[in-house]
Amino acid sequence: MNILAFDTSSSVLSVALKTGRREVSEAKLTGFLQHAENLLPLIDRLLKKQKISLNKIDRFLIGRGPGSFTGLRVGFATLKGFLAGSSRPCHGAASLDMIVENANLPEKSFLAVCLDAGRQRIFFRLYQRSRGTWRPRAKVKVLSVEETAAQLPENTFVTGDALRRYAEALLQAGSGKKFTLLKESFWYPRAATLIHWTVEKPEALEPLETSRDFVPRYFRLSEAEERKKYASAGR
């Protein structure tokens, strides 16, 4: 089976390809504002490397967010374009769930994924290592820095691109709690994770079958939508 996967939710554009029994090939580029112009060339580079055309792809995988509104729209618009000629199986997964797979930490460890949601908010989800896999302890939340710090158990490992802006603020708001901040190389989802899950963790992949499925998981309103909501409420 030939599988193409990509994630456009973060500032690191990630693409992965697996053809037949070959090892997974990966490519990545950094920069939110460049996803629209770089996604197709990056995919094309991998396809040419493996000497395969796009119409030979049997299955598409995509990171569904949360993350950059613009980046996610670019990813889903590209996926829909690929499917315009012929329908093929598609699956997606939450970007936060993909990120935790990068961290090989001790059993029973807590790991908090904190993504920059903009406007002084953080996409937050807490996980715990159990029997060699990461299990979510709660649903995805959109929190302030102070609320995020309050949700962190003692000795939690913390990852995600919110650390670039809020690492110091989280430590200060933690009121003496001990956190371990992971290095930047662990902050971002990798498209290769989606491909590995097709064999190792298929239950983590959500089928995209109807038009309602082919929508990013934003988990919050856009800035324009929030303004409209508050205006209609007379605030």
Query: What's 212's DSSP letter?
Result: T
CATH no. of 103-186: 3.30.420.40
Task: Pick left, alpha or beta for residue 7 (phi over 0 → left; psi -120 to 50 → alpha; otherwise beta).
Answer: beta
Looking at domain 2-95+188-230, its CATH architecture is: 2-Layer Sandwich (3.30)
Q: Output the CA torsion sign for 22, 91, 12, 100.
A: negative
Model pTM above 0.85: yes
150: enclosing H helix or E strand: helix 145-151
Q: Encode the chain (235 residues) as per-residue pLDDT tens digits.
A: 999 999 999 999 999 999 998 999 999 999 877 899 999 999 999 999 999 999 999 999 999 999 999 999 999 999 999 999 789 999 999 999 999 998 999 999 999 999 999 989 999 999 999 999 999 999 999 999 999 999 999 999 999 999 999 999 999 998 788 999 999 999 999 999 999 999 999 999 999 999 899 999 998 766 555 565 555 656 5
User: Could you state, in order of their start, the residue ranges of all structural domains in the chain?
Assistant: 2-95+188-230, 103-186
